[in-house]
Structure 1
Amino acid sequence: MITRFLTDVRVKFNPFSKRAKPARLFLSLIPPNARVDGMKIETKMLPRTSKEPATLDVKFKDGKEMKLELEKMRITEVMEEVDRHSRVLARKEELTGN
C-alpha cells in the first residue's frame, strides 16, 4: 500500500466486531515511522455493545478526502481505493520532477 501521500487517517471501529477486520488490517499496514514523517493518525475504539459501523477517513497531500464505510468492504477493496488515488499523485509527482 502506498502511504507516502497520506496526511491524515481517522479510523473508528469496534475492536470486538467481526466486521472490524478491515480497520485493524489497514492500521497494521501503516508503517511504524508514519507519525514521524508527518501523518496524523487518529483511532477511536467503540464500546463492545456499539452498533455503529466501522469507518475510515483518509486525507491526501493534495487535499482530497476519502470516506469509506468498512462494514461493507474487504481489506483488498480498501487498499485498491487508497492506492488508486496514491498512484495518481505519484504520476503527477513523477511528471513534475519532484
Structure 2
Amino acid sequence: MITRFITEVNTKINPFSAQSKSVRLFLTSLPPTARSQGMIIQTKLLARSAAEKNSLQVKFKDGKLLDLDCENMAIKAIIEECDRHSRALQKQADLADA
C-alpha cells in the first residue's frame, strides 16, 4: 500500500463486530513509522452495544477525503481505493519533478 501521500486516518470501530475486520486490517497495513513521519492516526473504539457504524476516513496531501464504507468492502477493495488516489498523486509529483 502506498502511504506516502496519506496525511490522516480516522476510524471508528467496534472491536467485537465482524464488520470491523476490514478497518482493523487496514490499520495493521500502515507502516510502524507512520506517526513519526507525520501521519495522524485517530481511532475511536465503540462499545459492544453502540448503534454507530464502523467508519474509515482517509485524508490525502491534496486535501481529498475518502469516506470508505468499510462494512461492505473487503480489505483488498479498501487498499485498492487508497492506492488508486495515491498513484494519481505520484504521477502528479513525478510530472512536477520532471
TM-score by structure 2 length?
0.96
Structure 1, residues 26-83: CA drift from partner, whole Å, max 9, x if none? 0000101111100000000000112322110111001111101211111011011111
- Separation in 1 of the partners of 2:2 and 2:11? 17
Deviation beyond 4 Å, 4+ runs, structure 1:
none
Residue type at the aligned position of 1:75: I
Mapping of residues 19-34 of structure 1, within 5 Å: 19-34=19-34
Structure 1, residues 4-45: CA drift from partner, whole Å, max 9, x if none? 100010011101101100010000001011111000000000
Structure 1 window deviating more from structure 2 (44-53 vs 70-79): it is 44-53
Mapping of residues 12-51 of structure 1, within 5 Å: 12-51=12-51
Contiguous gaps of at least 5 residues in structure 1: none
Contact in 2 for aligned 1:53/1:69 (Cα 8 Å):
no
- Is 1:84 the counterpart of 2:84? The answer is yes
Contiguous gaps of at least 5 residues in structure 2: none
Contact in 2 for aligned 1:20/1:54 (Cα 8 Å):
yes
- Separation in 1 of the partners of 2:86 and 2:92? 10
Mapping of residues 50-65 of structure 1, within 5 Å: 50-65=50-65
Query: What root-mean-square deviation, in Å, do the aligned CA atoms of Structure 1 and Structure 2 show?
Result: 1.0
Contact in 2 for aligned 1:2/1:86 (Cα 8 Å):
yes
Identity %: 51
